[in-house]
Amino acid sequence: MDSLVQGMQGVPLNHYILFSSIIFTIGVIGVLIRRNAIIIMMSVELMLNAVNLLLAAFSVYSGDPSGQVFVFFIMALAAAEVAVGLAIIVMVYRNTKSVDIKSLSRLRW
């Protein structure tokens, strides 16, 4: 374990911010270019994970465990969000026989 942790030593905090920004942006692009509702939810998970990692990195950087507790709460929230979101998608599929988000456009007004 000690030798593994050595691999992190010396990485500037900026590189963690840069890496998390890239993953977050990939998530944003995924939401924008796909029409499959399930893949859009997966992109949202990607964005949540990027933020989680950055919170953990800041927590280690400043030596404060609150950040990691916060990540734990975000994970609980993500689990709840996925359960409800997928239930909604299953219901939409049952009614429209498709997971295309375009089929949801009739929800307007």
What residues from 48 to 77 belong to the interface with other proteins (CB under 8 A)?
Answer: 49, 52-53, 56-57, 59-66, 68-69, 71-73, 75-77
User: Cα–Cα distance between 9 and 94 in angstroms, integer?
Assistant: 51
96 in contact with other proteins (CB under 8 A): no
104 in contact with other proteins (CB under 8 A): no
User: Cα–Cα distance between 89 and 94 in angstroms, integer?
Assistant: 9
Residue 107 CB, nearest distance to other proteins (Å)?
Answer: 15
Q: State which residue, 95 or 108, has the beta carbon closest to other proteins.
A: 95
89 in contact with other proteins (CB under 8 A): yes
88 in contact with other proteins (CB under 8 A): yes
Contact 104, 91 (CB under 8 A): no
102 in contact with other proteins (CB under 8 A): yes
- Of 95, 106, 89, 72, nearest to 37 by C-alpha is 89
Q: How buried is residue 4: exposed, middle or buried, by Cβ count under 10 Å (0-12/13-18/19+)?
A: exposed
